Amino acid sequence: MLAIGNPELLEKINDYKAELKAGVMKKKDKIESVGFRGYEA
Examine residue 8 and state whether it is found in any structural domain, yes or no. Answer: yes
Q: Is the model's pLDDT at 1 over the cut of 70?
A: no
Examine residue 40 and state whether it is found in any structural domain, yes or no. Answer: no
Examine residue 17 and state whether it is found in any structural domain, yes or no. Answer: yes
Range of the domain at 7: 2-34
Examine residue 41 and state whether it is found in any structural domain, yes or no. Answer: no
| Number of domains the chain contains | 1
pLDDT digits (tens, 9 = 90+) for 12-31: 999 999 999 999 999 999 99
Examine residue 13 and state whether it is found in any structural domain, yes or no. Answer: yes
DSSP characters for 2-40? GGGG-HHHHHHHHHHHHHHHHHHHHHHHHHHHH-TTT--
Note the pLDDT of residue 17. 97
Examine residue 39 and state whether it is found in any structural domain, yes or no. Answer: no
Query: What global pTM score does this model have?
Result: 0.70
